[in-house]
Amino acid sequence: MDHNITITIEDIKGIKEFTFHKRVKHFAFYSIGAVLLLLIAGAVTVFYLTRELGSIEAKKSILEAQNTVLEQTMKNKELELTQLDERLESIEELIGMDVREGAPLSERVDVAQLTSRERSLIFDIIPNGSPIEYQGITSKFGYRIHPTLGRKELHKGTDMKAKLFTEVYATANGVVEYAGYHRDSGYGRLIIIDNGYGFKTYFAHLGKIKVKHGQVVQKGDLIGLTGSSGLSNGPHLHYEIRFMQRALNPFWFVKWTMSNYEEIFKKEKNVPWTPLLELIAGSVGNEREAKRASADNSESNVTAL
């Protein structure tokens, strides 16, 4: 059997013959087929990538729009807080409370007159100590460049260094005002405790929440675990202390103990310590009078018998 292919070409110069093996024909056929398959596969791939690129661009546009809305919402909230601060300042001026320009310590509070019971009560109801096992601070209170948004703004709390799911404790007695995911603020999982006497404590970017709205907590109670929820770049605890909705520097309260009891009155001048401590001392006095009256009534009843 002849396995060759002969091609004859005739022109004015004569006749030329070219002889090829049939395998060359098969090779050429398969080569052309392979090239066609590659072209088809390439066209399909280009079509798919083009469609995916369009989808990615659409998602990017949606995310940019959502980010714009979020930034505008945060700006509106900041404006509302600023207006609230201004109204509070007007009220304070109206009633004669100047918390920005604190009077000298000797005029503000006579620490020596406070009893041990009064001091103990103060440490129960005014936030003090660290809400987690203290490992240091990663971002201080004050103006800074936001690590996620990349713009300069007031950092109203302190970012405390912590591993994921570190236990978080209440720093004063109070009632849980909020416990949930606070999306608009960027705080993520957030706990707000109303400690009374104008104080509130905020615990943000939590991984888990262990308390419920309306729950009564005592200083030292476990309330949650640290995390990285909301606008956060890693596990930590964002801790805030507010007095009449004005953010205070938590650092002085975290370091506040019985051994440096008077230090807080010198460092934190945005709190009217004199009327506040007088009010607390009055609460202790009322409690003491109530117990004395109860004891007197009991003695009278016994005598009458």
What is the tens place of the pLDDT at every residue in 226-277? 999 998 889 999 999 999 989 999 999 999 998 888 889 989 999 998 888 8
Identity of the highest mean pLDDT range in 24-28, 63-67, 116-120, 196-200: 196-200
pLDDT in tens, 107-160: 444 555 677 778 888 899 999 999 999 999 998 887 877 776 777 788 889 999
- What stretch of H or E contains 74? helix 22-95
Taking phi over 0 as left and psi of -120 to 50 as alpha, with beta for the rest, 280 belongs to alpha
Would you say residue 91 has pLDDT above 60? Answer: no
Q: What SS3 state is found at 272?
A: coil
What is the SS3 assignment for 64?
Answer: helix
226 and 207 in contact (C-beta within 8 Å)?
yes
Containing 243, the helix (H) or strand (E) segment is strand 236-243
The reported pLDDT for the residue numbered 95 is: 45
| Residues whose CB falls within 8 Å of the CB of residue 123, separated by 6 or more in sequence, listed in order | 219, 258
pLDDT at residue 197 is higher than 60 = yes
Average pLDDT rounded to a whole number, residues 209-230: 96
The two beta strands, 137-139 and 158-161, are antiparallel
Q: Which of 30-39, 52-61, 262-271 has the highest mean pLDDT?
A: 262-271
* More confidently predicted of 103 and 73: 73
How much is the pLDDT for 101? 47
Q: pLDDT tens across 266-305, in order?
A: 899 999 988 888 887 777 655 555 555 565 565 555 455 5
CA-CA distance, 223 to 208, in Å (whole number)? 9
Give the C-alpha distances (Å, rounded to integers) separating 177 from 61, 127, 207, 218, 301.
37, 15, 18, 14, 43
Looking at residue 299, its pLDDT comes to 57
Backbone angles phi, psi at 100, to 5 degrees: -80, -35
Give the pLDDT confidence score for residue 303 in this predicted structure.
54
Strand 137-139, strand 14-21: pairing: unpaired
- For the chain, give the number of residues: 305
Q: Residue 185 has what pLDDT? A: 85
Which H or E element spans position 143? strand 142-145
Strands 199-209 and 188-196: antiparallel
Per the structure block, which two tokens stand in for 79? 């404006």
What whole-number distance in Å separates Cα of residue 106 and Cα of residue 111? 9
Residue 98 has pLDDT above 60, yes or no: no
Give pLDDT, residue 100: 45
What is the value of pTM for the model shown? 0.60
| Percent composition of the chain: helix, strand, coil (DSSP 3-state, to 5) | 45, 25, 30
For residues 103 and 247, the model is more confident at 247
Domain boundaries of the chain, sorted by first residue: 1-102, 111-256
The better pLDDT of the pair 199, 86 is held by: 199
Rounded distance between C-alpha atoms, residue 101 and residue 92, angstroms: 12
Q: Which pLDDT does position 271 carry in this prediction?
A: 92
* Residue 135 near residue 160, CB atoms below 8 Å: yes
Q: Which candidate, 109, 108, 160, places its Cα nearest to that of 138?
A: 160
What gap in Å lies between CA 43 and CA 211, rounded to an integer?
58
Percentage of the residues of the chain whose pLDDT score is greater than 70: 73
Q: Where are the alpha helices (DSSP H) in the chain?
A: 22-95, 105-108, 116-125, 250-254, 263-267, 273-304
Q: Is the confidence at residue 177, as pLDDT, over 70? A: yes
Report the C-alpha gap between 156 and 138 in whole angstroms.
14
Q: Superfamily assignment of 111-256 in CATH? A: Glucose Permease (Domain IIA) (2.70.70.10)
Residue 167 has pLDDT above 80, yes or no: yes
- Residue 175 has a pLDDT of 97
Confidence at residue 297, expressed as pLDDT on a 0 to 100 scale: 60
The mean of the pLDDT values for the chain is 81
pLDDT at residue 219, rounded to an integer: 96
Phi-psi region of 113 (alpha: psi -120 to 50; beta: other; left: phi over 0): alpha
